[in-house]
Amino acid sequence: MAAMNPPTTALGWAHTAACTGLESSIFYPATEDEADTAKAVCAQCPVQLDCLEHAIERREHNGVWGGATEKERQRIIRRRRRERAMAKAAAS
Ligand code: SF4
C-alpha cells in the first residue's frame, strides 16, 4: 500500500486537526480492534464532527475519520437512511 498521510492533511478545515504531524499508520489500523489509539486522538480533536461528516459524504473506505472506523461509518449511514425513511413515511 502507498504511504498515506493522516486522513485530513489535505483538507483546509483541518488545520487544527489533532492528527496533524502524527504517524499516519495510527489512522489506518489493520483491524477494527486496533483503532483505539486513533479514536483516542480523534476524541480530543476540535474538528471531529467536520471530519466525520466529510468521510461520510465522501464514502471514505479506509481509515479512522472523526473517531469512526469504516464499519462504524457504515452503521451511521444505514441509521440515517432508516431515520429518513421513517420520517418520510410519517409525513405521508
Ligand atoms: S477527527 Fe481524527 S482523523 Fe479527523 S481530523 Fe481529528 S484527529 Fe484527524
Which among 22, 62, 73 is positioned nearest to 45, based on CA atoms? 22
Q: pLDDT by residue for the chain (92 residues), tens digit each?
A: 333 455 555 677 778 899 989 999 999 999 999 999 999 999 999 999 999 999 999 999 999 999 999 999 999 999 999 999 999 999 99
Q: Where does ligand 1 bind, in terms of residues with CB under 6 Å?
A: 6-8, 14, 17-19, 27, 41-42, 45, 47-48, 51, 65-67
Burial class (CB in 10 A: 0-12, 13-18, 19+), 52: buried
- Between the CA of 75 and the centroid of ligand 1 the distance, in Å, is 19
Residue 65 bridge partners (DSSP): 68
Ligand 1 pocket test, candidate residues 9, 16, 19, 44, most atoms within 8 A of CB: 19
Ligand 1 atom 2 nearest Cα = 42
- Between the CA of 32 and the centroid of ligand 1 the distance, in Å, is 16
| pLDDT of amino acid 5 | 52
Q: What is the pTM of this model?
A: 0.85
- Between the CA of 90 and the centroid of ligand 1 the distance, in Å, is 36
Q: In angstroms, rounded to a whole number, what is the distance separating the alpha carbons of residues 65 and 44?
A: 13
Q: In angstroms, rounded to a whole number, what is the distance separating the alpha carbons of residues 50 and 56?
A: 10
| pLDDT of amino acid 13 | 72
Dihedral sign for Cα 67, 70, 71, 73, please: positive
